[in-house]
Every structure is written in structure tokens, then in C-alpha cells.
Chains A and B, each alone.
Chain A
Amino acid sequence: AQSVTQLDSQVPVFEEAPVELRCNYSSSVSVYLFWYVQYPNQGLQLLLKYLSGSTLVKGINGFEAEFNKSQTSFHLRKPSVHISDTAEYFCAVRGFGNEKLTFGTGTRLTIIP
């Protein structure tokens, strides 16, 4: 079984400042990792994914994340945020051989002008 912890339920950040949204996971098997974004009143959109290979993955809208196996983390970063980044961000994990995604509780990113 897998579990995901997103410790920060809300993160306020000034516009053009950097941001890091934290995600830790636990699993008894190797995993695939994902970040999804949910804009207000919309569905879930994939930001980026780690399936294999380089541990630093780049996604849409200038976001990137780094897979750290020893720390079981997959933190999401952006060097300079914009008002349009205001959304809920979900970290998700899928174990090798499993079909279902297990989601974290989400982090609400609020950009302060």
C-alpha cells in the first residue's frame, strides 16, 4: 500500500517569489510519482510525472520536481510564481504493478500580489 503526506495545507507566496510544495510518500514497492493541479472549479491537470530516469523532472508552467528516493520525497518547485498559479496542488503516487493513484490531501497555493 502507498500513502502520501503533504504537510502544508496552505502556502501563501508573494508574486515573483519562489515556492516549494512538499510531498513525502511511503510505499513497500517502487513507485511512480505525479503532481496534479486543480484550478478553481476545474478538474485535475497533470503538472509533471516521475516514471524513471533523471530524478529532476520538468513540467508545465515552469514547475519542476525532484525525486529523492532516500528521503522518499517529491517536492514541487517554481522559481518565480504568478497570480495564475493560484490553485490546489496534489501529489500522487502509484506503486509498480498497481493501477490506482493515491493522492495527498493537497496544498492550496495562494499568490499575493
Chain B
Amino acid sequence: EPEVTQTPSHQVTQMGQEVILRCVPISNHLYFYWYRQILGQKVEFLVSFYNNEISEKSEIFDDQFSVERPDGSNFTLKIRSTKLEDSAMYFCASSENRLNTEAFFGQGTRLTVV
């Protein structure tokens, strides 16, 4: 069964460092998403991406965040200068189309900023 894969599963980084979280969405999907879940809190939407551009983003997704689809398979989330409060589980998701299908989630990357 096709699945969304994320690497690494766990990333520890020092405050102020840049991190790149990587995702391989399901191959025939066109819409890509990043969500995050701070420990003990709800899953929150960060950004959606379609046709090589951001289609929607939340207030959380400020200038320190960026997304990219550098090739035909990978979808990345970059955090330029990490803060302690960026520590969270980051989930990548993809969906076949925008409207009437579900999003499939990866296993997540646990980011710990120290």
C-alpha cells in the first residue's frame, strides 16, 4: 500500500540552527501539507502546497519557515533559525486532489530544539 514517508524520524538541533525535514508523498498525489503537533496539544495546520507554490498557510507559518519540492518526489520543510518552541512532531501529508479525498499522513519527524 502506498504511503507517505518522512525522514528523519527524530532530529535534535541547537537553537538558532537551520533544519530541513523531508517527506516523500504518495506518487500520484498533487497536494502536499505540513502539520505540527506540539507535545500534548492538537495537530495544527502549517501549510499546503500545490503546483509548486504555497496555496494556503497558517499564522504559525512565518518567515522562518519555507517549503520546497526540489525534485519530482521530495517535499521539504525548512526552519531557518530554530527556536525552543519549534520543538514538536511534524507531519507531512498528501492528497490526490483538493476537495473530496482524504489526506494521508506520514509517521512524523520529532524535532527537538535544545
Which chain A residues have a beta carbon within 8 Å of chain B's beta carbons? 32, 34, 36, 42-46, 49, 51-52, 90, 92, 96-106
- Which one of B11-19, B62-70, B71-79, B96-104 contacts A? B96-104
- On chain B, the residues within 8 Å of A32 by CB distance are 100
Contact of B48 among A49, A96, A100 (CB under 8 A): A100
Which chain B residues have a beta carbon within 8 Å of chain A's beta carbons? 6, 31, 33, 35, 41-45, 48, 50, 55-56, 58, 91, 93, 98-108
Contact of B31 among A49, A52, A99 (CB under 8 A): A99
Number of A-B contacts defined by CB within 8 Å: 54
Main secondary structure of the interface of B (DSSP, over half): strand
What are 19 A-B pairs at a CB distance below 8 A? A34-B102, A36-B105, A43-B91, A43-B106, A44-B91, A44-B93, A46-B102, A51-B101, A92-B43, A99-B33, A99-B48, A99-B98, A100-B58, A101-B43, A102-B45, A103-B42, A104-B42, A105-B42, A106-B42
